[in-house]
């Protein structure tokens, strides 16, 4: 009787394959991934999606599953995996990386809010495009500081609203694909891209420009480590977790391919607008409204839901990664000023450092980048360079797991039992990510070796070096503090 109760209780708590698929899909995927990568590669991105999903995303997801299953007692995820496999110092550095790569992300979010607000109010991007970069970034800084205050006061309602809006934006992305694919048959819409039936249209040109865009693909499919804690709540995880991850990867692949085809039907792949990254999603819903005779309703709905989702993401990205860093903080590596927490349980020292770093990254680019659209594109490209650097710690942790703990007992799910294959596949993913990040540093816009192109290149190199390098300096400050106290 007791065993029956335990089994029933486990069933109540366990996640089904379907639950896990949708959790992973919504964490990883978004309509912006389709727009940004189509803007970079046109319809050739379809071949790139197939490659990146098969040789990178699927093994990445399955490695995350084994790490989560092996270290099921760890609540902080990545930092805990590193601590158990590679020691406390590298665990601190992985936590620092996870936090600090959000600095460029935070620097761009206010821009996204302004773009969404412009479309919601004026139904066009003129509020942002017409601004001088200095004026734009000053407004961006003001918006960011306001959201720091919101985050510091623990505003929860915006997070709830953002969750609803995020789901709505996700649904809108799926809706775009369905409506656009049906538009030629239902509404007699002409396809914008020529030669869509030719295989050559979908073959990438493997030149330097193409190689610099790979980081955006890696950026698009990252983040599945967020679902690792749920591997132990999955029914028959050894069988169902890899099944769910493969199905989820196939769903992402189908969405990416069909979304790219829909973009090609709407926007000429041979003449991609230079502001497609900033405004492509809004142009898409504006055109859908015209095709189906419903005016600007779709673009306004998308702009409003996107605004709420971006606002919530900004608040959570100020707060959550910092608390994750400090939750496992070792006094040997993190100085007292960074660990200081006030009565509201707000890490005020971390908030101050966040504000300083983001403010610098908001203002400095405006001094050398000529217009608001280029500034937006550059910050998005910078995110694609910096954000995937945290994924490299996942692959390092998996390599160390196979090297040191491959025979650990009681692991419910394993991607592979082979120590050699595990080390090879994690080494491949690590090297590929590093390759994408390094080549992504080469600016994609402007004439090479002009002053503005050089300015972007210097910022692309210096930003990750400074952000990651700061994490190497803090342990020495912490040691001096400890020595002084002792």
pLDDT tens-place string over residues 370-416: 789 999 999 999 999 999 999 999 999 999 999 988 887 778 888 99
pLDDT (tens digit, 9 = 90+) per residue, 326-363? 876 677 888 888 888 887 778 888 999 999 999 999 99
CA-closest candidate to residue 322, choices 341, 305, 308: 341
What pTM was computed for the model? 0.92
Tell me which residue of 272, 209, 213, 256 sits closest to 46, measured CA to CA: 256
Bridge partner residues of 234 (DSSP): 15
Contact 314, 109 (CB under 8 A): yes
Mean pLDDT confidence for 217-229? 85
Q: 264 pLDDT band (50/70/90 cuts)?
A: very high
Q: Which of 57, 76, 100 is nearest to 465 (CA)?
A: 100
What are the backbone dihedrals phi and psi of residue 234, each rounded to the nearest 5 degrees, phi first?
-95, 135
pLDDT of 12: 43
Q: What is the DSSP letter of 230?
A: G
pLDDT of residue 405: 85
Mean pLDDT (the chain) is: 88
pLDDT confidence tier of residue 24, bands split at 50, 70 and 90: confident
For the chain, percent of residues with pLDDT exceeding 90: 58
What is the average per-residue pLDDT within 241-249?
86
Locate the domains of the chain by residue range: 17-485
pLDDT digits (tens, 9 = 90+) for 280-330: 999 999 999 999 999 999 999 999 999 988 888 888 888 888 887 887 667
Q: What is the pLDDT of residue 159?
A: 64
Q: How far apart are CA 10 and CA 28, in angstroms?
A: 27
As its CATH architecture, domain 17-485 has Up-down Bundle (1.20)
pLDDT tens-digit series, residues 111-165: 999 999 999 999 998 888 888 899 999 999 999 999 999 888 766 666 677 677 7
User: Whole-angstrom Cα distance, residue 319 to residue 308?
Assistant: 17
């Amino acid at each position: 009787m007791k065993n029956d109760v335990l089994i029933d209780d486990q069933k109540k708590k366990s996640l089904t394959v379907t639950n896990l698929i949708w959790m992973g899909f919504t964490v990883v995927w978004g309509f912006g991934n389709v727009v940004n990568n189509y803007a970079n590669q046109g319809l050739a991105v379809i071949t790139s999606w197939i490659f990146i999903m098969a040789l990178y995303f699927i093994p990445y997801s399955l490695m995350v599953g084994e790490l989560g299953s092996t270290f099921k007692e760890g609540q902080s995820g990545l930092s805990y995996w590193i601590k158990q496999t590679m020691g406390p110092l590298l665990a601190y550095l992985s936590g620092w990386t996870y936090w600090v790569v959000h600095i460029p992300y935070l620097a761009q979010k206010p821009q996204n809010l302004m773009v969404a607000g412009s479309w919601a109010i004026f139904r066009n991007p003129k509020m942002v495009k017409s601004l001088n970069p200095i004026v734009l970034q000053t407004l961006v800084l003001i918006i960011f500081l306001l959201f720091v205050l919101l985050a510091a006061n623990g505003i929860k309602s915006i997070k709830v609203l953002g969750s609803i809006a995020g789901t709505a934006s996700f649904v809108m992305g799926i809706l775009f694909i369905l409506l656009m694919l049906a538009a030629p048959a239902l509404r007699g819409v002409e396809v914008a891209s020529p030669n869509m039936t030719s295989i050559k249209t979908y073959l990438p040109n493997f030149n330097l420009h193409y190689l610099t865009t790979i980081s955006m693909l890696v950026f698009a499919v990252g983040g599945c480590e967020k679902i690792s804690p749920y591997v132990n709540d999955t029914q028959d995880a050894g069988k169902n977790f890899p099944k769910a991850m493969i199905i989820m990867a196939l769903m992402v692949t189908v969405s990416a391919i069909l979304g790219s085809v829909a973009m090609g039907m709407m926007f000429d792949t041979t003449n991609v607008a230079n502001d497609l990254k900033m405004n492509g999603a809004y142009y898409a819903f504006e055109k859908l409204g015209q095709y189906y005779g419903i005016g600007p309703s779709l673009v306004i709905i998308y702009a409003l839901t996107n605004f709420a989702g971006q606002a919530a993401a900004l608040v959570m990205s100020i707060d959550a990664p910092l608390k994750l860093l400090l939750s496992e903080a070792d006094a040997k590596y993190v100085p007292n000023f960074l660990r200081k927490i006030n009565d509201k349980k707000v890490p005020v020292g971390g908030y101050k450092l966040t504000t300083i770093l983001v403010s610098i990254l908001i203002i400095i680019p405006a001094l050398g980048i000529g217009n608001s659209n280029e500034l937006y594109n550059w910050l998005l490209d910078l995110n694609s360079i910096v954000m995937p650097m945290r994924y490299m710690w996942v692959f390092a942790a998996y390599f160390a797991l196979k090297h040191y703990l491959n025979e650990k007992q009681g692991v419910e799910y394993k991607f592979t039992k082979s120590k050699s294959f595990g080390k090879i596949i994690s080494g491949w993913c690590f090297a590929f990510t590093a390759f994408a990040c390094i080549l992504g540093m080469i600016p994609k816009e402007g004439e090479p070796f002009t002053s503005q192109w050089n300015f972007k290149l210097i910022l692309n190199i210096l930003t990750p070096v400074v952000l990651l390098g700061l994490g190497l300096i803090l342990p020495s400050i912490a040691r001096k503090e400890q020595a002084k106290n002792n």
